[in-house]
Structure formats: structure tokens, C-alpha cells
Structure 1
Amino acid sequence: MKLTEWQEELLKETFNLGVGKASASIGELAGCEVELTVPEVQICQLKTLVNDISAMEGSSLSAVIQTYSGPFEGTAMMLYSEEASLDLVRLIMGSDTPSEQLSELEYDALCEVGNIVLNGCLSSLGGLFEAEIETELPELLSGTTKDVLTLEGKLDEGKQVVFLKMGFQVATGKLQGYLSFILDTDKIHNLLECLENYYRKISA
């Protein structure tokens, strides 16, 4: 399954709106200006995503997991490499935070950032499609890339994924993060149908 050019551009713009709104909130947490971008979006199998993320970030990963329901319910993830997660916690909590305290603070800090960004994206999709999207409380999962992305084996690697690669641009440099929305094949079709309906509406 592959996005058409206009579907890809529309999703990029929608997610840009979501992360754009979220960046201001994250900036308040971090005490500096944070710019979030969504330069790439694609649909692929979860197995492909596991291989791609492993090649880019290595074998360890942290993810904020949030399930949601609506016209195309599924599982949303904000993914961080081990290094990026610690850098983000230091950015939010202060660079002078003792290393032994980082692990204690990591859960709350990463969940807060993930919750802000994921809810921003989902609310933008809901607004675009004039549909209500409800979310569950987020949780943090850390481990091997495969275990995290498959929710420790609960998700079939054949599932389809809407994958967005994004960057965090902050005053101190760049942090790489990723967004992933895991849906069953029929829910992918629901998402594309929502896009088609929106396109027909604005083209009428």
C-alpha cells in the first residue's frame, strides 16, 4: 500500500499543524524554543519499520505508547533512541541534573512530551475529518527496537504503519524522534477514505 502524492502532502501538512502547536508547549517545558518538523511520511509494514529504525538508531529504543479510537483507531507511538531520550530529559529537567536522577524523571518527562505531540497530531486529524478521536493515557516502553515496536510481541509484524520521521530543532542542537501510527489494514483504508472525502469536499 502506498500513499498518492496528494495524500502524502495532506498528511504532512496535517501533522505539521499538530506538531507545530505542540512545539510551543514543549518549548515551555524545555525553557527554550523548540521547532518540530515532519519531513517524511510513508506507509509500510511493521517489520520494515523495525529494520529501518534498528539501522538508524541501533538495538535500543524508548517509546511513548498511546492507543486511540475513532474512524481509524490504532496505536500511536512517539519513538526515541536511548541517546535522544536522555538528551530530551536533560533538556527539560536541566543539564545539571545528576545522572542517577535521570532514570527516575525519564518516565514522566518522556510521557509528557509524547502525550503533547501525539495528542496534537491526533486532534489535527480529528479536526480535519470533523471526527472525534479519543485517546487512552500514555505509557512508556523501553527495550529492544523489535520488542518496543511490537509491544513485546503483541503486535503482528505484518501490520501496516503510518510512519513519520521528524526532528527536534532546539537551541542546543538537533534531536531525532519519530512518530508511528500502527493500524490494521482496514483502518488504513478508513484513513485513506477520510482523506478522499476531505479532498472531494474541498474540491467541490
Structure 2
Amino acid sequence: MTHNPQALDELENDALTELVNIGVSRAAVALRKMVGSPVILSVPSVEVVGRRVAATLIRERESDPLIAVRQDFAGAFSGRALLIFPETNSLELVRAVTHDELSGTEMLDIEEEALAETGNVVLNGCLATMANMLQRPLAMSLPQVLRGDGQILFELSDRPDDNGVVLFLYINFAISGRDIRGYIAMLMDLPSLQSLKELISEFITRVVGTDGNAG
């Protein structure tokens, strides 16, 4: 399969990138309050790719083991959101969240809890803002911390037809000079992506005030 029929056209992609940017900047404000220092989250690229491609993209960028915070979301569009970063960054993130006040042992004790809370702030901030702007409610599950590689995080099976779509958002993190970087991925099936496309079209119509391409 060369081109994905569910891929967004240029206008939809621009609108989605704008929505994600607004969501991410809200999440950055919430995270800044948590860590007490400047947080920069930027979204250089938004891509709709197959799960296998997404797993490969992460593997090419990150050779170290990964850690992810996962939250499922449901509503007008549903799926699974993942905040993914290299495991080597995880304690640095906990250090930022706890303001460098804990010993190494104490940090390890609360690592999962701190990561889950951070993931919750970022993913919830991002998705809740997007849902708000698309004028649809969205319910989020409690955060779960996972460890593994892209294959595990995207729950790829060995079936050749397992090529669900991933809305892959590559996000640059920076917390006041700390070496922390990450990605957000949204896993959605085709019907959900179709619903999201329709909501984006409605959003474009509201913002631009034209019918665009009806149909």
C-alpha cells in the first residue's frame, strides 16, 4: 500500500497542526506550573502513518528502550494517546517534576506515579483542548505507564494486516535546559480517523467561514 486514503489533505493537515499546537501550548502551561520552570513544547510535524511505519520512525530516532504513558480516549473520535520518551529521560523528568528535591532512591520510588501524572497533564491538556475546539466532549481513561519498544507500545501483532493508522505527532520537549524530549502518538482506527476528518472540516468551515469542499 503506497498512499493512505485516510491521509489528511493539506488544509486538513494545517488545521490539525494548528489544533495540536494550541493543545500542546495549553499542556505546556499546565506542565510549567507543575515543574516551576519554563517548558517548551513544539510540534514540527503531524503525520498520518501506518502503525508499522510509526514504530519504525521511533526506532530510527531512538535506539534506547522507551517509556510511555498511555491514555485511552473516547467520544466523537476515539483511540489511544501515548506520550513516549527514551527511558534515559524518565528520571530527568521525575527530577524536574519534583524540583530536584528527592534522593535517587526516593525518585525511583515515585517514578511511575510522577510519570503517570506528567503524561496525564500533557495528554489531557492536549486532547481536552482539541476536543473543546472541535466542540465535542472526550472522556479519558486513567494513565498507565508502559516500557518497551515501538512494537510493544503500538501493540503490533505479527499479522501482516495489522496496519492500523497512527496519527503521529512529533513533539519537541524542553524543560529549562534539561535533556528531555518526547513524542505524542494517537492511535486511531479508520472510522475514528474519518470522524476526526469530518470534525476538522466543520472546524475549518467555522473558522474560514466557507463551505470548502462539501461532501
TM-score of the superposed pair, with normalisation by structure 2: 0.86
**Are residues 1:168 and 2:166 paired?**
no
Aligned amino acid, residue 92 of structure 2: D
Give, in whole Å, the separation in 1 of the partners of 2:113 and 2:75.
Answer: 26
Runs of 5+ unmatched residues, structure 1: none
Equivalent residues of 1:34, 1:169 under 8 A apart: yes
What is the deviation of 1:181?
A: 0.7
The percentage of counterpart residues that share the same residue type is 28
Matched, 1:16 2:28: no
Across the aligned residues of Structure 1 and Structure 2, the Cα RMSD in angstroms comes to 2.0
Partner in structure 1 of residue 142 of structure 2 = 137
Query: Which of the pair is proportionally richer in helix?
Result: 1
Q: Which residue of 1 aligns with 2:30?
A: 25
* Secondary structure at the counterpart of residue 176 of structure 1: coil
Give the match for residue 192 of structure 1: 197
Residues of 2 paired with 1:95 and 1:157: CA distance? Answer: 43
Task: After TM superposition, list the pairs within 5 Å mapping 1:79-90 onto structure 2.
Answer: 79-90=84-95
**Aligned twin of 1:108:** 113
| Structure 1 segments (4+ residues) deviating >6 Å | none
Contact 2:131 2:137 in 1 (8 A): yes
Q: Distance in 1 between matches of 2:140 and 2:126?
A: 12
Structure 1 pair 86–152 and aligned structure 2 pair: CA distance change class (3 A): farther
Residues 201 and 85 of structure 1, relative CA distance in 2, 3 Å threshold: same
Cα deviations across residues 22-76 of structure 1 (Å, max 9, x unaligned)?
2122112212111111111000011111111011112511111101111111111
Structure 1 residue 117 corresponds to structure 2 residue 154: no
Larger Rg: 2
Cα distance change, pair 39–179 in 1 and its aligned pair in 2 (3 A)? same
Say if 1:157 and 1:58 are closer, same or farther in 2 by CA, change over 3 A.
Answer: farther
How many residues align? The count is 202
1:54 is aligned to 59
Name the CA distance, whole Å, in 2 between partners of 1:151 and 1:64: 17
> Could you tell me which amino acid in structure 2 is paired with residue 81 of structure 1?
P
Going from structure 1 to structure 2, the CA distance change for 1:149 and 1:7 (only over 3 Å counts) comes to: same
Structure 2: give runs of 5+ residues left out of the alignment.
211-215
